Amino acid sequence: MATSLDPVLRDQLLYRRQTLQTSLTESPSSAQLADLLQQVDQALERMDHGTYGLCEVCHESVEVERLAADPLTSFCLDHLPPVAQRALERDLQLARQIQGGLLPRPESALGGWQVSYHYQPAGLVSGDYCDLVDGGARGLYFMLGDVSGKGIAAAMLMANLHALFRALISGGLALGELVSQASRAFCETTLATHYATLVCGRALASGEVEICNAGHLPPLHIHAGKVTELPSTGLPLGMFCSQEFTLTRINLQAGDGLLLYTDGLTEAEDGSGEFYGPERLQRLVAGHCAAAPKALVSACLQDLDAFRRAAVLRDDLTLMAVNRVS
């Protein structure tokens, strides 16, 4: 395999070879060092023969990111030896636990607001972003988003967003400025192929809510027994380094609410490939206008289960209900 990484990886391998040889002169009887040296030599041989980066089992290309992380890898993810597979599973389980630790409490009540959410990765980790931050006198911040892609890479970016927003919220910026700065930082630190859609809201004790929607699906606004969509007001986060975001302001009275969700909900499929869809969601929510957040989230999940029956969820799924209680 000829990749643009080859010269870099060759240099890395040569450097490792040199280091190993130095260590071996100091401990000539170390079987581990001898074994590593042999693996490095074999990798260099594969480079000379043009087979470097190909899986030993299927002869397809090994994932480039994995080669960059470990230049000695000679199996694709599908054909890892059992020991390596188990190590990878342990890593993933740990990543799942760490991601779970980044989530807010499932139920929160703060300053006249009540919030409930459901967070469900399609695999072990999720690329969805969901957080609540108590901003004190500045109100309650709620965030729900979706990083492009899936799996570990998306989960790492989700963790990055989590840290970014937490840091920026503590700085007391106006909401539009906060999202612009998060977008800039995300853009500068992320691969050009990755971005995130998200809704960031600030709910004040007065009932006023500011919402900034960066290319995400429209949140549903539940007011006086009716459900309407709040449109997107901006491009996804991190798509361009210099982006400005506008806000939508609404006033919520006691009993009013918002429902935020990722496309794992509306793009869930039934057995025949039909989408759950935003219309069905809107009808369902209209039938539960008076429900408390937890009950609304449960009703959505029950309806989704009834719709998809045995069909598997292919995408990460998150929904969050925010209610004005007083």
**Would you say 73 or 116 has its CB closer to Zn ion?**
73
Site for Zn ion in 45-104 (CB under 5 A): 55, 57-58, 76, 79
Q: What whole-number distance in Å separates Cα of residue 160 and Cα of residue 170? A: 16
Q: What angle do the packed helices 278-286 and 293-308 form, to 10 degrees?
A: 140
Tell me the one-letter amino acid at 24. L
- Nearest approach, Cβ of residue 59 and Zn ion (Å): 7
**Would you say 76 or 284 has its CB closer to Zn ion?**
76
**Would you say 59 or 90 has its CB closer to Zn ion?**
59
- Nearest approach, Cβ of residue 119 and Zn ion (Å): 33
Q: How far apart are the first and last CA of the chain?
A: 64
**Would you say 77 or 295 has its CB closer to Zn ion?**
77
User: CB count, 10 Å around CB of 301?
Assistant: 15
Beta bridge partners of 108: 115
- Nearest approach, Cβ of residue 51 and Zn ion (Å): 13
User: CB count, 10 Å around CB of 168?
Assistant: 20
Nearest to 261 by CA among 224, 303, 223: 303
Q: What whole-number distance in Å separates Cα of residue 289 and Cα of residue 266? A: 19
What is the residue whose two structure tokens read 């989960």?
155
- Nearest approach, Cβ of residue 115 and Zn ion (Å): 45
Q: What whole-number distance in Å separates Cα of residue 110 and Cα of residue 140? A: 7
- Nearest approach, Cβ of residue 52 and Zn ion (Å): 14
- Nearest approach, Cβ of residue 303 and Zn ion (Å): 41
**Would you say 42 or 228 has its CB closer to Zn ion?**
42
Contacts 24+ apart (CB under 8 A), 291-298: 292/114, 292/116, 292/323, 293/107, 293/114, 293/115, 293/116, 293/257, 293/321, 293/322, 293/323, 294/107, 294/116, 294/321, 296/116, 296/257, 296/259, 296/321, 296/323, 297/116, 297/117, 297/118, 297/321
**Would you say 49 or 226 has its CB closer to Zn ion?**
49
- Nearest approach, Cβ of residue 76 and Zn ion (Å): 3
Number of residues this chain uses to bind Zn ion (CB under 5 A): 5
- For 116-149, give the DSSP string: EEEEE-SSSS--EEEEEEE-GGG-EEEEEEEESS
Query: What are the tokens at 276?
Result: 């759950």
Q: What whole-number distance in Å separates Cα of residue 50 and Cα of residue 1? A: 6
- Nearest approach, Cβ of residue 84 and Zn ion (Å): 12
- Nearest approach, Cβ of residue 295 and Zn ion (Å): 48
Report if residue 241 touches Zn ion, rule: CB under 5 A: no
Give me the residues that bind Zn ion (CB under 5 A), please: 55, 57-58, 76, 79
